[in-house]
Structure 1
């Protein structure tokens, strides 16, 4: 749950900082320019947060690399699994893609 809260906070922070409009925020994720975000695009964009926190580049966020410096280590696979869960929670239309409204909706 701590990882989910940290990832949700990261998503909310990035949305607040980077978003002039929902469409502009979607474009940050939408690598193929089709106007929607696939799970792969979501993982790629959100995975940048993991890479930024993984200071030693070993694919594991050690306790001292985690926000607040607390919690058990988290592997890249665990982080990506959590992102997949978030993606599917945001995909309220259940079509396998996020539109601008879904992408910017608060997590449930």
Structure 2
């Protein structure tokens, strides 16, 4: 949303959400699409890094980093697809069932530096 808010183009911007179960029935996929400024492909490898922000001093660089950490802690994944000047797509995949090895992890704190 913040990237769309910062977009200087005089167009109506939209954010869409798609939700589906994978073909094996083991994961749920969330796809977030926007038609904002997109992600520069040369910056793509940085978007999930701690303190990286494309918004300069207007951003903290914590949002996508923490989002990724929470998703990974749940056994999922997040992927970004850039389309400069046309928008971006983020795909989040989360398991429908917790992995056996994850039982009891609910009380374990997330390591913010991992």
Over alpha carbons, which structure has the higher Rg?
2
Q: Answer yes or no: same fold by TM over 0.5.
A: no
| Higher normalized strand content (fraction of residues) | 2
> TM-score scaled to structure 1, two decimals?
0.29
